[in-house]
Structure formats: structure tokens, C-alpha cells
Chain A
Amino acid sequence: MRPLTEEETQAVFKKLAEYTGASLKNIIAPQEDGDRNVFRLSQNRVYVVRLSMANLATSIARDNLLSLGTCLGKFTKSGKFRIHITALPILAEHARHKLWIRPNGVMPFLYGGNIVKAHVGRFSEDCPEHQGLVVYTMDDVPLGFGVSARSTAESRRLDPTGVVCFRQADCGEYLRDEDTLFQSG
């Protein structure tokens, strides 16, 4: 386990900023109890974790440390950062653009489908094209995230079967991708 290098930090922050916008700094801002979140890399996976926890976790050997705090995603072999569904709690907390889907659109989304216009309940105003979105149900339960296929204005003119949001990650992955999602040492 080690802190991220400059390069890695840039890659991670760039990805996060797609979803959180300016409130990215809230993730790393010091908390009221004097603690703060730090980023740690362990076996190619990036974790957000409180500093006090990260310090304690140093006593666990690399091979035995399987997970700590919240996993954001992992670095691919080619050095790109892939964000995982496990980052959802963090993204949902700080999301800039949001999309709410109707009850009849929930299952298609959880099965890994893109979001069509007919399923959209609400949509943040002023969302540009290809912008990271966090997807919620109508009762504000975060379900996943994706990228807007059209800007808000354009999507208004779309026919009901037109795709509004490309799925990137959804909660269904906890079932579908359990084998690959988590580190197994």
C-alpha cells in the first residue's frame, strides 16, 4: 500500500472530476474531527480512506491486505484509471450532474443497459454532452453512473427510445462481476 504518485493522482482526479466537478475538493478537505481522506494504492486498486485508517493499515502485509475504506477503481496495465461501481457512494455524495430514472427503468439499468429517454424521470439542467452523470431512482437511491449521450437540451427533442445516458457502472455489477470486481490476493 502506498500513496499515489503525481501521475496517478492526476489520472484519478481527472476521472473523478468528470462526475463531481468542482466539489472534488470536498472529498479531500479536512473533516471536522481533524481527519481527512487520503488516496492509497494497493495492488493496482485505488482506495479512498481516512488517514487514521490508512496509517493503521500499514501494519497489514501487502499480500494479506485485500481492501480498505472505499475502492474507487483500478489502474489498468496500460496505466489508465478505470472507475468501479464501488466508488458510487463517494460520487453520489459529490455529484454535479444527476439523472433520476423512473421505476420501470430501474431493472433495465441494473441489468447493464443504457438509459433511454422514456425511462428518464428527471435530469439535471445544463448538463453538457459526454459529461459524467450519477444515476438515481426517483427516491434518490443512487444506482450507478454513466456518461450523458446528449446535452439536456438536446435530449428533450429525443424520441422515447433514444439513449440519453451511456451506462458505465451500475449496482447490478455486484452480482454480475463479483469475480472480477474485487481483489482476491
Chain B
Amino acid sequence: MGQGRRMKRKQGMPEALSEEHFANLKRKAGLPVEPPVEKASLSNKKRKTAKGAAAAKKPEPAPKKSSAKKSNGKAKKLPEPEKDSEDEEMGDEFDLDQLEDDASSDEDASLGEKKKNIWSDEEKDSDDAEEDDSVFDSDDQEDGGKKGKFVFSDDEDESDAEEKLTAANIAGLSRKLDKKLAEDKAITETEMQESAMQTNIDGPKIFGDEDDEDDELADKSKSLLAPDLQLLRQRITDTIRVLDDFANLAEDGRSRAEYTAQLLKDICAYYGYSPYLAEKLFNLFTPREAFAFFEANEMPRPVVIRTNTLRTHRRDLAQALINRGVTLEPVGKWSKVGLQIFEANVPLGATPEYLAGHYIIQAAASFLPVMALSPQPNERVLDMASAPGGKTTYCSAMMNNTGIVFANDPNKERAKGLIGNVARLGVRNVIVCSYDGREFPRVMGGFDRFIRVLLDAPCSGTGVISKDPSVKTNKDEKDFISLPHMQKQLLLSAIDSVNHASETGGFLVYSTCSVTVEENESVVAYALSRRPNVKLVDAGIPFGKEGFTSYMGKKFHPSLKLTRRFYPHAHNIDGFYVAKFQKIGPTAPNAIGAAGKKNGNAAASGDEEVIDKTPITTDEDTEVEDKSTKKKSKGTGNTGTEKSDFSAFDEDEDVKYMEKAKKNAMRRRGLDPKSLKKPKSQEKK
């Protein structure tokens, strides 16, 4: 067996299902549910205490400082017991032999074995584990577990993952453990230094003697010299530590801003972000959390599949896949259809089960908007940007193939994949169409046509950097103006498509796979301000962080607390944002961007929020003025020629354009580069 995927890439672990659940399952299946043997329960307990200890120390990293000295002394002894405790864990949860045993459960039963349930084999496994580690003093282990590992918020995931490791390449694991131990040791040492420095207050040297040196370091790191990367990382952690406790650790005469700037520079060099994006993301978090976020973006998220409940049940699917040599586990208590894949010997996208439509490979994060939407049977649902169809088919599965789902995607190429998934999963209640989402309420002949609407808006993808690292460099200011602009338009048309009068619905879910405020809270706040007939409601997702109600001086409506943010470092799913609206009244026919008007109106209205607007008066003369000033403000550079253009204008023609301009007053108000081009080109003609 090869090295486990999770092991290699340090993936975190989802919550395990509780044992009661499996007991229930057993009962349902009419199997005897026996209490675990005493010995097993004993070892189980031990394991749990170990885990409990680990869990207990997580929330408060403070005590580690005090124990730092002690553990440093012990550090050299640590590797052995540490390794073995890991082995134990491994044997514990997923032993392949065990799985096979369980797969051929008939034998088991005849042999007097207790378990048929594949996931509840812990008792027996832990028996084995007990034998394995009987050589070692359990106290020793606990020591190792407690003191050997220092938990920082940033490596929480890793250590967590290791604790519950399921796959089994011991060599690889021990190598990794050694590495980690070395890291830990290094951290411990810095900790030691720190505690030593408490008497002689002197922060770590973040800034070199001269600034030149910094640049040199940054340059070197760009050429990817390994030691410099290490140094860089060291400096990042140091800076974060200083920022955490600025009053005590900062060098004299250095401001927080200097440290932050240095940290950002280092992060850009170390992870390869564009400075603009790094700053944007950094500002969302505390320095330590930001570091964790950037770290998490370097690791892939777990592969998750969704059971197609139209075709099969999760238990059956799990059994079938296990028989094919896939190691998996339920993704968490929050989902009844998700399975997390740890290791697969077969290509998951080509198993007979996949081709027969029993599951779809779908990121855990994209379950969330559909769960928030929770479509009911016989409803009419619109999915505005649906490719590649994970959410659409989930909607259909929740509706049990009744009612109607309109799956829209503006990109016909992507829609092909969507149709493929819809057909493969045996979904029959979907109509696939290809419109620009902004046209939507009009497509169906006006307002209020859908009971529920799902808008998973196109976004910058800052939440899925681990999937698509190109985001790090290819997003700039322009994207963060034009994308929110489009999202606002889409959201308004989505709101207008919802039927507020329906008894069961009137709900709208807005989601993005981005973490920036511009694409999330700002957009939602904008929609709230433009559509007083919607309100935010609780999304009904049991985890996730609350949306921001204030960000960098901007204040949002307090109800934005009801929206949910998800982060890769905190939840081990893609960065995601989910907001659920309820529509409580009809949209006023004269509302901005309402469907009765031309689409351009919506474009204009979207702009207003983004950029300062120059006041527009209805007077014709001032309007011309207005236009020219706008051009200047856009910075075309050749204002002189423009002026001459104006003076050379044919009066009649000018009047014509001014008339037109007056008619489209709303459109011209926008400062979006795109919408600016139009009137300009018209004039040049």
C-alpha cells in the first residue's frame, strides 16, 4: 500500500461519527449490538484520554510556554514513544486487513466476531493495537503525547490529522514525524529563547541591520534557495510572534505597521502571492490566523464525494467502494450524504459506481449552499450559475426528482459537463439553459417565478487557492471591482426571481468560493440596501464563522452576522461564504435594476456602490461637463486631445448624443471601465 494521501499532504480529519450512530445503524440492520469487550474498552478509553488530552490542550496554547523548558530537556527522548503512539493510532482505525475481514462479514459472523458494520471495527482493532504497544509504558506515551507536541493554531490541523491517521505507511510516517519533531524542537527553542528574554526584554531581530539586507534576503528567496526559504519562514513566525505580543516584544522605535509590512513582504516571497492579494487576504485575519490561512492554502483539501440518493444509499456506496479498495469515512455529522476519501487504489472518476451515477465528486464546501437552501419536493428552483452540476444535482436529489430545477450556466462549454452529470446521476427534473444570469427574471416572463433560488456567483476564487494557485498572482484591483459588480447584478436579478408569496419558500442563497469582503459582505449589504423587501435569515449550517458586520471602517447591517464564512484553516474545507435571504415582499417595479427596465440599468446601479459617483444633474450642459470630467478621472492621459475633440464636435450630432445620454442617465452614472468605453467610442465616431 502506498503512502496515504492524507498522510502525505497533511490533511486534517473530519469529525468522526459517534459510535452510537453505528449502534443505531446496526440495530436498524437487525444486527446484535454488543457492548465492547472489557479489554477493548479499556484500550479505547486510553486512546480517548490521549485524544482528550490533545483536544484539551488545543484551545489554550498558553500553557505550552511554561512546559517548554521541561519538554526541551526531554525532546531527544521523544521520537520513540511518539512514533509508536502513532502506530497505534494507525492500527487502530483503518487496518486494511480488518476492512477485508469486515467486508466478508459472513465469515466474521460465523467465527463469532461481533461486527458487521465496517466502520465500527474499532473494538477489535484496538485489541490488536493493545498488543502492539504493550511494550511501552502508557505513561510514557501520554508524556510524549502531551509534551512532545506543541500546538499552535497554525499546525493544529496537522497534528490533529496525525493523531487520527488512518492510512499506513509507517516509514513515511516516521520520516514525517521526525521532521515534525525537529520543527517542534525548533519552535521549542525559540520559545525557550523567548522565555529567557523575559528578563532581558529584547524582541527577536526581525529587521536586519540595514534594510538592504532584507531586500537581499527577499531576492534570494525568490531564487528559491532552500536555506533562505527556511530563514524566511523563521522570520515570518518571529514577526507573527512579535505582532501577537507587540507591547513586550517589539523593537524600540519600530511601529506595528513596519512589522506588518515586513510580514506581508515575506509572505509574498514565501508563498508567491501578489502583494495586492496578500494584503487583501491578510487584512481579513489576525496575523497568526492569516499565517494559518496561507499555510492551509498550500495543502490540498480532502477529496469528498456526495452520494446520489436518487440511486443508492451512503452505506451501500461506502461498502461498494471499500470493496474496491477505497478508504473512506463519512465527511462529518453535518452531512448525511458526504464521504471523505482518504485513499483510493482505483480512479474515483471511473469506477462502475461512478459511471452508474451513484456518486459525484464534489467539494465539501459546495454542499453548504444547497443545505442552506434546503429545497423541498415539488418546488421550483433556479440555480443561476450551475456548472458543473454538483449543487444542481444535490438540489434535485433533495427534491427527490420532483418539482423543477432550472440549471442555468452562461458558459455553454461548461454546461456540457453539467448536462453530463445531470444525465449520469439520473436526474429528471432539470431544465438546463444557458443565459446570462442577469437576464433571469425576464427569461421567465417577469418577477417572482421561483420558490427558491441558488446563486453560487462567479468569484475570484480566493477560497480555493489550494485548488487553483494561479489565483495568487492573476487577480488584481480590477477583478475586485468588476467581479463584485457582476455579483451585485446577479444577486439583484436573483432576488427578483424569487416568489415571496410561496408558502414554503421565498428563499435565496448567495454563495461564493471567495473569502474577500468585497465579494461577500459588501455584495450582500448592497442587495439589502437596494431591495428592502429581503432580509437575511439563518443559513442553518451548524458550523462556520459569522460574517463581518464591520470591516476596515465599513459598517454593515448587523443581520450580516447570520451569514456564514468558512475557511480552509479552520474547517478544512474550501474558503466559502454563504448567505441566505428570505424575500418578504414584491420588488417595487421602479427599483434599481428591476427586470422591467433594460439590463443596462442594472449595470449602472451596480457601479454606484463600488466607486464614488459624481453627481449628475439633469441639465444638459452640465452633463457634458460631467462626462469630460469623468474621462479625466479615469486617467486616459490625453485630456488635451479630448478637449479638442469636444470643440470639433458637430453641434447636431452632439445634441443627438446628449439626447441619448439623457435617456440613459442611469447607465452613464457608472464608472466601470467597461461601461465607460461605450460612450467614449460613440463620441469618437
Contact = CB atoms under 8 A, between A and B. Distances in A.
Interface of A: 49-50, 52-53, 56-57, 59-60, 63-71, 85-86, 89, 106-107, 110, 137, 141-143, 171-172, 174-175, 178-179, 181-185
8 contacts: A50-B429, A56-B431, A63-B434, A69-B430, A85-B423, A143-B352, A181-B420, A182-B419
Contacts of B422: 67
Contact of A66 (B352, B357, B412, B445): B412
B417 interface: yes
Nearest to B431: A68
**Nearest 6 A/B pairs, CB to CB:** A171-B355, A67-B432, A86-B423, A182-B419, A66-B432, A68-B431
A57 B356 contact: no
A172 B356 CA distance: 9
Given A171-B352, A175-B355, A182-B419, A64 B434 contact: yes
Given A67-B419, A172-B355, A181-B420, A60 B426 contact: no
Interface string B341-358: 000000001101101111
B429 A53 contact: yes
Main secondary structure of the interface of A (DSSP, over half): mixed
A68 B423 contact: no
A172 B40 CA distance: 45
Nearest to A37: B428
A64 B412 CA distance: 9
A181 B432 CA distance: 15
A73 B445 CA distance: 30
A184 B404 contact: no
Nearest to B412: A185
Given A64-B435, A184-B412, A184-B413, A174 B420 contact: yes
A175 B350 contact: yes
A178 B423 CA distance: 11
Instruction: Determine which residue in B358, B423, B443 has the highest number of CB atoms from chain A within 10 A of its CB, and name it.
Output: B423
Nearest to B427: A70
Contact of A56 (B357, B404, B434): B404
A67 B412 CA distance: 11
A69 B428 contact: yes
Interface of B: 349-350, 352-353, 355-358, 380, 404, 412-413, 415-417, 419-420, 422-424, 426, 428-435, 443-445
A35 B356 CA distance: 27
A65 B431 contact: yes
Name the residue among A56, A71, A182, A183 with the largest chain B CB count within 10 angstroms. Answer: A182
Given A66-B412, A89-B426, A182 B433 contact: no
A80 B413 CA distance: 27
Nearest to B410: A64
B292 to A, nearest CB: 38
B355 A174 contact: yes
Question: Which of B349, B358, B416 is packed against the most chain A CB atoms within 10 Å?
Answer: B416
Contacts of A110: 352, 355
A174 B433 contact: no
A178 B420 contact: yes
A174 B266 CA distance: 46
Given A66-B415, A89-B426, A184-B412, A175 B349 contact: yes
A55 to B, nearest CB: 10
B415 A59 contact: no
B416 A178 contact: yes
A124 to B, nearest CB: 20
Given A178-B416, A178-B420, A60 B431 contact: yes
Contact of B352 (A70, A106, A179): A106
B420 A66 contact: no
Output the residue of B404, B430, B431 with the most chain A CB within 10 A. Answer: B431
Nearest to B415: A66
A70 B432 contact: no
Contacts of B433: 60, 64-66
Given A171-B356, A174-B420, A178-B420, A67 B443 contact: no
A179 B416 contact: yes
Contacts of A69: 428-431
A53 B416 contact: no
B350 A59 contact: no
B423 A71 contact: yes
Given A64-B434, A89-B426, A184-B412, A107 B419 contact: no
Contacts of A181: 420, 423
A106 B432 CA distance: 31
B443 A60 contact: yes
A58 B145 CA distance: 65
Contacts of B431: 53, 56-57, 60, 65, 67-69
Nearest to B444: A59
A181 B416 CA distance: 9
A113 to B, nearest CB: 14
Contacts of A56: 380, 404, 431
A68 B337 CA distance: 25
A59 B445 contact: yes
B428 A89 contact: yes
Contacts of B444: 59
B383 to A, nearest CB: 13
B517 to A, nearest CB: 34
A174 to B, nearest CB: 5
B435 A141 contact: no
B434 A66 contact: yes
A85 B431 CA distance: 18
Contacts of B380: 56
Nearest to A181: B420
Nearest to B311: A141
A68 B424 contact: no
A68 B430 contact: yes
A68 B350 contact: no
Given A60-B431, A68-B430, A184 B350 contact: no
A67 B415 CA distance: 10
Contacts of B416: 178-179, 182, 184
Contact of B423 (A60, A143, A182): A182
B404 A53 contact: yes
B349 to A, nearest CB: 7
Contact of B417 (A52, A86, A178, A183): A178
Nearest to B421: A174
Contacts of A71: 423
A137 B423 contact: no
Contacts of B350: 175
Nearest to A60: B433
Contacts of B353: 141
Nearest to B408: A64
A57 B420 CA distance: 19
Nearest to B323: A103
Contacts of A178: 416-417, 420
Contacts of A175: 349-350, 355
Contacts of B434: 63-64, 66, 185
A182 B420 contact: yes
Q: Which of A59, A85, A110 has the most CB of B within 10 A?
A: A59
Contacts of A106: 352
A71 B416 CA distance: 13
A60 to B, nearest CB: 5
Nearest to B420: A178
Contacts of B426: 89
B439 to A, nearest CB: 9
Contacts of A65: 431-433
Contacts of A50: 428-429
B583 to A, nearest CB: 20
A179 B417 CA distance: 9
A110 B349 CA distance: 13
Nearest to B429: A53
Contacts of A143: 352, 355-356
A141 B420 contact: no
